[in-house]
Each structure stands twice: as structure tokens, then as C-alpha cells.
């Protein structure tokens, strides 16, 4: 496995994790679609670091062009910036654990077989590329919209409270609380369209159910 890391100098935990995964690390100085190192890479790893907005803009710019699974390393405070970003496959919260880095990289490698594609009626979700197809047409989803839809599609029928969704999907005490879940549910229903919005059912005084 070849991991292209941007910027060139990565954190110690990430460096140790890449080594533990047996990945060959290639540091890149600029993140552009024409970057030679990206052509050889199996995965792209971007640390937001002290210039998070610059990194997010670069991720958005090359997301659809590069076609590589993308792992973003961010602090807990920077997670809110990732909500509108596209093309992110997975993320790690600083300080990163080398074992977690290895496990997430191995998951990406296993996903390359395509066995992890999620199907629900005419909805298809590819966790490797973060591509969502609805009746074979691409859906324009933000990172967290995709994460929420994927979780719901993987766990249909049962009812999930807003607090459970916040914990399972966002993974930490997100600023904005349960209202964040309601906003993302509303956006997902709009993007699913009138005929399919009923896939996400509101269970009064409890939460939401998919399917």
C-alpha cells in the first residue's frame, strides 16, 4: 500500500500508524490533481493542521479529480469544518492512535473488493468512494449527510433517538446538539425526493427510523 501524505511532515502518531500498516509513505508538498505522487498512491491522507480552511478548500478542489480514498486527520474542534466537505472517505481525531490508523487503512483495502457496497431498494452507497447513487443517478451529499444516510441504511427498521444518532454518526459531543440531527434529516429527505423521503420516518418523541 502506498499512502500519499499531505503535508509532507506528518504527526508522529500518523507516521507510526502508517508504518504499522506496512504502508509506504510518500510525502507531497502541494495538493493538486496533477501531483505525480497521487498517481501511484492507494490512499490520500490529509492532516488539517494549523491551516484547516486551506486544507478543506484543497480537498474540495481535488475530491472528484483524484479518485482516491481520502482520510482526513483533524482535531475535535476542526470536525465542524468537515461537514460541508466532499470526497472524504474516513477521518481520524487527533491525537491519533497508530493502531486505529492501521485498522482504518485495512478497512479501506478490504473495501476495494466492492463487497461493502450498501443497497436499499434503488439506493446504492459505496463506503470506499463515498459515492451515493439513487436510481443510478449521483446524489450530491456532504460528508456528514453521507455518514448519516449510511448509518441509517446499515441499521434499518429499529428506531434511533437523536442522542444515539449524534453519538454513533458524529461520534462526539457535537456543538448544536440534537437539532443538528433534525437539520441533516431534513436535508436528506429533500435530496431523496418526495417519493423516497418516507424512507426516513419520524417516531414521535423518540427519534427516527429508516426503511
Instruction: Give the whole-angstrom CA distance, residue 178 versus residue 172.
Output: 12
Give the structural domain span for 34: 2-111
pLDDT above 90 covers a percentage of the chain that reads: 28
Q: Domain holding 83: CATH number?
A: 3.40.50.2300
Interval 166-191: pLDDT, tens: 888 876 555 556 788 999 999 999 99
Total-model pTM: 0.57
Instruction: Give the whole-angstrom CA distance, residue 194 versus residue 143.
Output: 22
Instruction: Give the whole-angstrom CA distance, residue 143 versus residue 149.
Output: 10
Of the candidates 143, 137, 134, 125, which has an alpha carbon nearest to the alpha carbon of residue 189? 134
Residue ending a domain, choose from 76, 111, 146: 111
Question: Comparing 21 with 110, which gets the higher pLDDT?
Answer: 21
> What is the pLDDT at residue 99?
81
Q: Domain holding 181: CATH number?
A: 1.10.10.10
In terms of domains, do 102 and 126 share one?
no
Interval 82-117: pLDDT, tens: 777 777 888 898 988 888 888 788 777 666 545 578
Question: Comparing 79 with 36, which gets the higher pLDDT?
Answer: 79
Interval 22-47: pLDDT, tens: 888 888 877 665 556 577 788 889 89
In terms of domains, do 147 and 184 share one?
yes
Residue ending a domain, choose from 78, 111, 144: 111
* Main-chain dihedrals φ then ψ at residue 52, nearest 5 degrees: -65, -40
Residue ending a domain, choose from 111, 145, 165: 111
Instruction: Give the whole-angstrom CA distance, residue 165 versus residue 178.
Output: 9
Amino acid at each position: 500500500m502506498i499512502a500519499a501524505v499531505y503535508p509532507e511532515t506528518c504527526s508522529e502518531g500518523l507516521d507510526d500508524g502508517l508504518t504499522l500498516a506496512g504502508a509506504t509513505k510518500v510525502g507531497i508538498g502541494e495538493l493538486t490533481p496533477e501531483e505525480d505522487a497521487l498517481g501511484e498512491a492507494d490512499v490520500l491522507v490529509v492532516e488539517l493542521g494549523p491551516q484547516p480552511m486551506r486544507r478543506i478548500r484543497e480537498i474540495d478542489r481535488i475530491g472528484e479529480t483524484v479518485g482516491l480514498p481520502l482520510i482526513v486527520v483533524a482535531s475535535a474542534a476542526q470536525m465542524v469544518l468537515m461537514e460541508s466537505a466532499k470526497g472524504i472517505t474516513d477521518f481520524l481525531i487527533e491525537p491519533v492512535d497508530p493502531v486505529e490508523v492501521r485498522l482504518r487503512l485495512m478497512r479501506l483495502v478490504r473495501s476495494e473488493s466492492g463487497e461493502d457496497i450498501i443497497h436499499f431498494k434503488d439506493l446504492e452507497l459505496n463506503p470506499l468512494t463515498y459515492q451515493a447513487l439513487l436510481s443510478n443517478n449521483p446524489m450530491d451529499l456532504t460528508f456528514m449527510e453521507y455518514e448519516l444516510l449510511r448509518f441509517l441504511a446499515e441499521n434499518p427498521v429499529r428506531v434511533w433517538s437523536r442522542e444515539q444518532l449524534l453519538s454513533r454518526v458524529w461520534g462526539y459531543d457535537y456543538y448544536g446538539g440534537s437539532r443538528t440531527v433534525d437539520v441533516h434529516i431534513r436535508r436528506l429527505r429533500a435530496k431523496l425526493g418526495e417519493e423516497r423521503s418516507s424512507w426516513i420516518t419520524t417516531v414521535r418523541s423518540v427519534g427516527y427510523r429508516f426503511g
